[in-house]
Amino acid sequence: MACSFLFLAFLMTATAACLSAAAATGKLVPPSETPSLSFEEGYTQLFGDSNLALHGGGKRVHISLDERTGAGFASQAAYLHGLFSARIKLPADHTAGVVVAFYMSNGDVYERTHDELDFEFLGNVRGREWRVQTNVYGNGSTAVGREERYGLWFDPTEDFHRYAIHWSRHRIIFYVDDTPIREVVRTEAMGAQYPSKPMSLYATIWDGSSWATSGGRYKVDYKYAPYVAEFADLELRGCAVGPATPCATPGTGSASDGDAYGHAATMSPARRSAMEAFRARYMTYGYCYDRLRYPAPLPECSIGAEAAAFLPSGDARAALHRHARRSRMRRGADSAV
Residues with catalytic annotation?
Answer: 116, 120
Buried/exposed 120-144: b ≥16 CB within 10 Å, e otherwise: bbbbbeeebebbbbbbbbbbbbeeb
Q: Please state the φ and ψ torsions of residue 189, each to the nearest 5 degrees.
A: -65, -30
Question: According to the 3-state scheme, what is the secondary structure of 118-163?
Answer: EEEEECCCCCCCCEEEEEEECCCHHHCCCCEEECCCCCCCCCCEEE
215-218: long-range contacts, CB 8 A cutoff, minimum separation 24: 218/96, 218/97, 218/124, 218/125
Residue type present at position 150: Y
Alpha carbon 120 to its chain centroid, in Å, reads 6
Query: Cα(86)–Cα(43) distance, rounded to whole angstroms?
Result: 13
CA distances 124 to 121, 207, 230, 261, Å, are 10, 12, 18, 34
DSSP-assigned beta bridge partners for residue 117: 104, 136
